[in-house]
Structure 1
Amino acid sequence: MSRSHIALVGKISGVCCFIFIVLCICFYKTIRAGFIEAQFNRANMYIQGDGNSQDFKKAREYLEQSAAAGSDNAQYMLGVMYEKGQGAPQDISKALEYYKQAAKKNHAKAEYALGTMYDHARGVPEDHAEAIKWYEKAAKQNNSSAEYALGYAYFKGIGIAKNIEKGMQYLQKSADNGNVKAIFYIGSLYYDGQSFPKNPKKAFPYFEKAAYKGNTDAQFYLGLMYANGIGVEQDYSKAIYWYEKSSKTHPTAAYNLAKMYKEGLGVEVNYNTAFELLKKAANGNNVQAQYGLANLYDLGDKIPQDSSKAAFWYEKAAKQGNIDAAYALGEMYLEGRGVGEDFTKGFQYLEQAAQNGNADAQLKIASIYFKGINVPIDHNKALEWYQKSAEQKNKVALYTLGNIYEQGLDVPKDISKAVKYYQEAAEGGDVDAQLKLASMYSTGTNVPVDYSKAIDFYQKAVNQSNVQAMLQLGQIYEQGKGTAQNYQKAFDIYSKGLSNHSPDLQYAVGLLYEKGLGVTKNIEQARTLFKQAAQQGLVSAQCAFAKIELNEHVKDPNVQVAMSYLQAAAKSEDPEAMFILGNLYLNGQHIEKDVKHAKDLLKLSCDKGFQNACQSLKLIH
């Protein structure tokens, strides 16, 4: 073989060797890539539980092989597993190391994860600026979570200068990439009016999009908007739909849904469902539900009363700062209701509620100091707490302050202050204050007589179905005190209270029927009303009923009943009853004649100023 041939063969052999080496390298790389991918896929199967039982430990083992071979996906996944403690004890340092390995290879999810570690000081000191750096790297690769994080950071000025415009750009980009958090957050910005004018209509499509993607907060807001007609037409059935979706994990949605079932809004009233939802919300730590549930147990409202369960839920709510619950729990400890009686604990809860503005608790503490209940009497402290409660328009506190200043109880007597407090309480609907002022103005007690003001305050109390006010106002019109006499008005006012079965009002209306004043005369109706009042022990009605039974031509008179009522009234020293009964004894009418007893009764009646009895005594003598 010639030298040229030998050289050619050598060259060909060299090329072949080179090609062989390249092919071997390529084959190795392919094998290696296949191995890495196979290990990663196997790990993923164990994570997902596809074809195998879910096994994080085995998944971690395969991921470690894949990561060691250089897989950025495996490195990222190992970071996640160590951060969450899946397949191995939680190890934030290892998680951080794996995230860094993957991030060096521009793995977007790892870059975002690193950002969150710096943002929330997980394994590293808190460094918002460093977090922003990693978020920006991930965002450049269209990582929607990083885009959301950057948008939020720009909105709040965390780790970067506040920039609403840039923040909105990132949020919108994240939302366009399907990030549910971003979609919901944009909706909430429009709904709450954060950085933009409040615009529920603009918020609605964002909430709707997020809701359909399963965001329970968005589902809750859709329920809220439909229930209250905020930004959309009110639609209870749609509100129910979204509240039900959200209520599986959203306690406030469960609470609102409970209210709808209780009130029958968009559904039939169902107290059982409402109660179960309320319990669910309370167990989910919704403070309103905890207080509401405690209240149901406390009052026995549609469920058996259970003071111990009431105390349990009041305490839960009180620990979350609910001042109404703290007040209620304080009362329970003072009374030993559902819990062991404990004044110290009760007072502590009352103070917690009072210091945070609960007017009823302030009133209770004032009363404790004023009366010296388990504490030394301290009228100065009492006055301070009464005033705090009164500043919140607590009617009882206002009325009590009026009383204190009217009577000068450890304060200089001040009628103008008293009237001012009474007036505030009365205008706030306190019946006692309305009656007090009406009485003061009608009798001229500490104020000039003013029937027009008296009538006004009595009328306010009448509007609240107060029987005493009906009686007093009716008498003003019946007697024409400071106003034109008007029997019909008196009759109408008295009659309003008949459904309350007040014996005084029954007697007053009976008298008008008997005399035909303001109404057509009707003895039978008068007789019925007098009897109803007499049965309740009203002495004047007992006498009036007896008079009708004994003297009027009524249907089926019952002399025996009449005499028993007359004797009862006389025993109560009613002067007219003693006069009538005395005459009956004198004449032996309906009863055995007894002149001595007759004289005794007539004398007693006369001594009480009943002139007819005095005349009868003169005739006997």
Structure 2
Amino acid sequence: MVTKGPSREKAAFTRTLKSARFGLVEAQYEVGLMYANGVGVEQDFEKALGWIRQAAERGFLPAQYLLATRYASGIAIERNVHQAFHWFMKAAERGHVKASYRLGKLYASAHADAAVHCLERAATQGLAEAQYGLAQAYLQGKGVDTDPSKAMHWLQQAAEQDFAPAQCALGAAYAAGDGVHKEVAVAMDWYRKAAKQFYPPALVAMHRLDAEGFGRAKEKGRTKRRHANQERRRTDVAWVSVAETGDAEVRYHLGLMYEAGIGVTQDEEQAQTWFARAANQDETRAQLALARRYEEEYPLVAMQWYEKAAQLGNADAMVAVGQHLSKSKSTPEQRLQGVSWYFKAAQEGAPHGHLALGEVFASNQATLAFACFKEGAEQGDKQAQWRLSRCYAKGSGVKQSAAQAFAWCARAAEQGLAVAQGALGAFYLEGYGVESDLIQALIWLEKAADQGDAKAQWNMGAVFASGAPGVAKDLRQAFALCHKSAESGFVPAQATLGLMYARIKEDEKALAWWAKAAEQGDPEAQYNLALHLSKAKHPRSESLAQMFHWFLEAANQGVGSAQARLGLMYATGQAAPLDLVEAHKWFLLAKAAGDDAGRINSERSQQQLDAAQAAEAQRRVDAWAAARANANALKPHL
């Protein structure tokens, strides 16, 4: 009769237990494993740890390492970092390679130099994980001087052992040219090796390179389709099985894969699930991804995740928390807390943190704003580069410099920022900070216009409306661009569109667009609207009142021709009370603005006033100029 499996296991346990009680250390360790796994005996973690501890205390290396890992992870025993450290140290001193590596990881947060020593010991013994960890230390300068060449050496060692994280890191180094010559083809090769092991970060990185026009994105026709199909044939199950190992970074990248449909079937619920699992393991990028997903529908939940990620040091989350606390309805205390989060993000070296701080200081602390924008700009943030360009253009917090304004605007434009592309086109049009170049102007204006930048559309329309050397006059194109810009709400385009309709005698449409722009404060539209109303053959009192209102609005914004018209109204009593002193005031202002009618009429009105009246008119001019200067001073610098 053949003995059945359970009976054999029970007999094996009995024999091993006898040896363990006799004092054989290997048997004590085996009994511990049998209790832990329920082999030949009922599962009992407390007894399992008791026997494993006996073996560990007698110096049995596998037992020491196993006990250390249990204390480190909290599996079947209460987590105890000090005990984990003690047993990893014991095992490492006796040459256990993985113990040296784990000891290095424990040291990493508080004793970076000791961590490097442990990692180096395990790396030289050929442990791929340690080689990878040592490479990261050399890249980040943690516990050792930054040394890209040594980092590449250890990455290469680990990668050649088919350690997927190292292969992925090598791919990133070659893609960016960090520590090695930039070679995108080599980067793709390393990414593919890691991806073949179902390492999600590698597949995400390959997808990003493809999106930037490298790798398979350059392949044509059947080849490209074949590769895409081959990649799609990878099963979702295989990717998931890798993420089930418990690595938070891998789970985060699997979430990215499901979110974008990279190598797996696109599935929003799966993306959410993997982001949540990684977020609960304190993977801050996953916490950030979850927060952004919740932001619209569940803002309070989003804030909880932003705060968790911020507390763990994620700079983007710090900025998000700062923005939430700095909203208009926030209390002064909350706004101050928001600024403190911006400071923390800036201290972490995050360009978005410097940008946010710059925004805070822009209205009344121009020098600090400039410094923050500059820090963020130098780290490559396109919004900060754009704001820095405006600082140089306006001389806000720094000496005005057209060349610097152009240079920083160009850097932001090259990163695809529409408003910077439009401004760069205007710089080329005006020859501001660069030699005038109409072709370059149109290239950049078109880039911005294609992204919906209304000001760029308006500027392009102006070029086509007037024509220029090398650019044919095209009124249809000019009208289409101006109309698109006006529909987007760009006020100067609305004023221009009114003029265009007026020229083709479509007065109702002209008036409608002028009214839109005038109500939003455009002086040109205000003047043209008033001028049109003034031409009515039999104006009603309502029209006269509107005409006076819009001439006054335009005049108060410094439009000389409107000031001259207003002077005539006061001088004749048409649509305004007769007031020769007020008339003379407006004629003087029109003259100062360069209006010929204002100059002529100011000389005539001077003759109708006595010395006291002339002095009063001048006093009113000075008061108007002072009020206008104060209003301009209160406007934001940028």
Q: TM-score range by the shorter chain?
A: 0.5 to 0.7
| Aligned counterpart for 2:286 among listed residues 128, 142, 146 | 146
- Based on CA coordinates, which of the two structures has the bigger radius of gyration? 1
TM superposition score normalised by structure 1: 0.60
Q: CA deviation at 1:235?
A: 6.2
**CA–CA separation in structure 2 for the residues paired with 1:408 and 1:245:** 56
Q: Which runs of 5+ in 2 are unaligned?
A: 1-14, 31-60, 63-95, 99-124, 130-156, 174-178, 217-226, 623-638
| Aligned counterpart for 1:425 among listed residues 530, 545, 551 | 551
| Aligned counterpart for 1:221 among listed residues 344, 352, 356 | 356
The Cα offsets for residues 63-119 of structure 1, whole Å up to 9 and x where unpaired, read as: 589x5xxxxxx7556655665679996736638444311123333333333333344
Q: CA deviation at 1:348?
A: 0.7
Equivalent runs, 1:79-98 vs 2, <5 Å: 91=231, 94=234, 96-98=236-238
After superposition, the Cα gap between the structure-2 partners of 1:356 and 1:400, relative to the gap in structure 1 and judged at 3 Å, is: same
Equivalent runs, 1:542-581 vs 2, <5 Å: none
After superposition, the Cα gap between the structure-2 partners of 1:325 and 1:421, relative to the gap in structure 1 and judged at 3 Å, is: farther
Match of residue 483 from structure 2: 351
- Paired residue type of 1:340: A
- Paired residue type of 1:313: W
Worse overlay, 351-360 or 446-455: 446-455
**CA–CA separation in structure 2 for the residues paired with 1:266 and 1:448:** 47
- Paired residue type of 1:278: C
Equivalent runs, 1:495-534 vs 2, <5 Å: none
Q: CA deviation at 1:221?
A: 1.8
TM superposition score normalised by structure 2: 0.58
Match of residue 584 from structure 1: none
Match of residue 292 from structure 1: 423
The Cα offsets for residues 205-235 of structure 1, whole Å up to 9 and x where unpaired, read as: 3223333333221222233334445xxxx36
Match of residue 391 from structure 1: 519
After superposition, the Cα gap between the structure-2 partners of 1:47 and 1:100, relative to the gap in structure 1 and judged at 3 Å, is: closer
Q: CA deviation at 1:48?
A: 4.3
Match of residue 178 from structure 1: 313
Match of residue 439 from structure 1: 568
Equivalent runs, 1:153-192 vs 2, <5 Å: 153-157=293-297, 162=298, 164=300, 166-192=301-327
Equivalent runs, 1:604-615 vs 2, <5 Å: none
- Paired residue type of 2:560: V
After superposition, the Cα gap between the structure-2 partners of 1:188 and 1:362, relative to the gap in structure 1 and judged at 3 Å, is: closer
The Cα offsets for residues 6-63 of structure 1, whole Å up to 9 and x where unpaired, read as: xxxxx99xx99x99xx9xxx99xx9999898697673355554599998557756875
Q: Aligned Cα RMSD in Å? A: 4.7
CA contact (8 A) 2:192 2:203 kept: no
Where 2:478 maps in the other structure, the secondary structure is helix
The Cα offsets for residues 503-551 of structure 1, whole Å up to 9 and x where unpaired, read as: xxxxxxxxxxxxxxxxxxxxxxxxxxxxxxxxxxxxxxxxxxxxxxxxx
| Aligned counterpart for 1:99 among listed residues 224, 235, 239 | 239
Where 1:43 maps in the other structure, the secondary structure is coil
Higher relative contact order (CA 8 A, sep 6+): 2
Q: CA deviation at 1:253?
A: 1.3
CA contact (8 A) 1:79 1:95 kept: no
Equivalent runs, 1:286-365 vs 2, <5 Å: 286-337=417-468, 339-365=471-497
**CA–CA separation in structure 2 for the residues paired with 1:116 and 1:108:** 13
After superposition, the Cα gap between the structure-2 partners of 1:104 and 1:344, relative to the gap in structure 1 and judged at 3 Å, is: same
CA contact (8 A) 1:353 1:361 kept: yes
Match of residue 116 from structure 1: 256
Say whether residues 1:382 and 2:510 are aligned partners: yes
CA contact (8 A) 1:42 1:59 kept: no
CA contact (8 A) 2:527 2:554 kept: no
**CA–CA separation in structure 2 for the residues paired with 1:316 and 1:388:** 27
CA contact (8 A) 2:560 2:591 kept: no
Say whether residues 1:211 and 2:346 are aligned partners: yes
Instruction: Count how many residue pairs are aligned between Structure 1 and Structure 2.
Output: 452
After superposition, the Cα gap between the structure-2 partners of 1:368 and 1:427, relative to the gap in structure 1 and judged at 3 Å, is: closer
CA contact (8 A) 1:473 1:490 kept: no
**CA–CA separation in structure 1 for the residues paired with 2:264 and 2:167:** 30
Say whether residues 1:461 and 2:590 are aligned partners: yes
